[in-house]
Chains A and B, each alone.
Chain A
Amino acid sequence: MGENETVLNATPSLAARTGNFFHRYANPGRFLRLGARLQPWLTWPAILLSVAGIAWGLFLSPADWQQGDSVRIMYVHVPAAWLASSGYMGLAICSLLSLVWRHPLADLAAVEIGPVGASVTAICLATGSLWGKPMWGTWWVWDARLTSVLVLFFLYLGHIALIRAFDEPQRGYRAAAILGLAGAVDLPIIKFSVQWWNTLHQPDSITLTAAPTMSTAMLWPLLVCTIGFTLGFAAILVARLRAAVMESRVRTALAMRRGRADSHDARDSGQDLSGAVA
């Protein structure tokens, strides 16, 4: 019995092991080194793949027999939609890390994901609208898929506003993390909206469980664009996060200098006073 207890106590729980894994990368210095090493491996493939994918989609891929050339909007719309959802998933994971493990980098990452995620969601909505006008004859319909993505955009905007709304940053991080986690409920709604409701938006052409319902001549450029845009999204986030860590270090160094200068001033004025008393 006693032995069993020792063994049980000696084995760390899954939560503790997960926490340890994330805390290894909570060290800003370690992140800066890792980020500097990762940056070129994200940036250059992102540029190459995005340019190749866009050129392929615009000039080499075939037009659709029904939609004609407007199908080419798909090569920017679908990656933007994928990044809007996966960016929010990243935000929700950062929120969880912030609330459960108080991971300092998760808070900074959440601050940086917000504007980038909101921008790609805006692009998803705008390109969808630009695709909808020639195909559906309207810029917008209150369809389940479109509305749930619009809600996602507002969730991003709410997160951006909330995380900066408090004088004390920690309170902003906590409040925004709760919003980030609660808002994740919108992600399955976006994903399954085209199955749960009768929508004007078409069902998914690519799923994990079935063969794609589009021609491989369109699938390949779409895949290249999606990988390129995803790497670009990651590259921008890593660059912004590295900058945020450095800015935080600058603020700390300036505060320390100010503190030192104040203590010197206090000491000097103390000496003056003691001199005056003497």
Chain B
Amino acid sequence: MTHLPYIVTAYGLTIGLAVILGGGAALRLRRARARLAALERPSRTGGASAP
């Protein structure tokens, strides 16, 4: 009996999950950084937030 399908599935699941979690975290961090930068930009120059 070959054990190859079990081994490939186990490694595939692990690597797939690592890529999803890692990639998801990196994308979320990038998006949050961009949104924060976009919000902070006008207040630094004092333009948009001035009444």
| Contact status of A73 and B10, CB under 8 A, knowing A134-B1, A253-B39 | yes
- Complex CA gap A240/B20 in Å reads 13
Interface on chain B toward A: helix, strand, loop, or mixed SS?
Answer: helix
* Minimal beta-carbon separation of B30 from chain A (angstroms): 8
The answer to whether A242 touches B29, judged by C-beta atoms less than 8 angstroms apart, is yes
- With A123-B17, A239-B28, A242-B29 already in contact, 15 other A-B pairs whose C-beta atoms are closer than 8 Å: A70-B3, A73-B7, A80-B14, A119-B17, A122-B17, A126-B13, A127-B14, A130-B7, A239-B22, A240-B28, A243-B31, A244-B32, A246-B29, A246-B35, A257-B49
Residues from chain B with Cβ under 8 Å of A235 in the complex: 22
| Contact status of A243 and B32, CB under 8 A, knowing A126-B13, A253-B39, A264-B51 | yes
Residues from chain A with Cβ under 8 Å of B32 in the complex: 242-244, 246-247, 250
**A 65-80 to B, binary, CB cutoff 8 A, 1 in contact else 0:** 0001110110011001
Q: Does A50 belong to the interface (CB within 8 Å)?
A: yes
Q: For chain A, which range describes its interface: under 10, 10 to 19, 20 to 34, or 35 or more residues?
A: 35 or more
Name, among A119, A133, A250, the residue most crowded by chain B CB atoms within 10 Å (CB to CB): A250
Within 8 A of B (CB), among A142-196: none
Question: Which of B15, B21, B26, B36 is in CB contact (< 8 Å) with A119?
Answer: B21
Question: Which of A80, A131, A257 is in CB contact (< 8 Å) with B6?
Answer: A131
The answer to whether B36 touches A250, judged by C-beta atoms less than 8 angstroms apart, is yes
Residues from chain A with Cβ under 8 Å of B26 in the complex: 239
- Complex CA gap A234/B17 in Å reads 15
- Complex CA gap A260/B42 in Å reads 15
- Complex CA gap A134/B25 in Å reads 35
Within 8 A of B (CB), among A248-272: 249-250, 253-254, 257, 260, 264
**A 1-44 to B, binary, CB cutoff 8 A, 1 in contact else 0:** 00000000000000000000000000000000000000000000
Within 8 A of B (CB), among A225-239: 232, 235-236, 239
- Complex CA gap A253/B38 in Å reads 11
- Complex CA gap A240/B27 in Å reads 10
Nearest CB to that of A245 among chain B residues? B32
**A 44-85 to B, binary, CB cutoff 8 A, 1 in contact else 0:** 000000100010001000000000111011001100100000
Query: 6 closest A-B pairs (Cβ-Cβ)?
Result: A246-B32, A239-B25, A70-B3, A76-B14, A243-B29, A243-B28
| Contact status of A232 and B22, CB under 8 A, knowing A123-B17, A260-B49 | yes
- Complex CA gap A134/B9 in Å reads 13
Q: Does A93 belong to the interface (CB within 8 Å)?
A: no
Nearest CB to that of A257 among chain B residues? B49
The answer to whether A236 touches B22, judged by C-beta atoms less than 8 angstroms apart, is yes
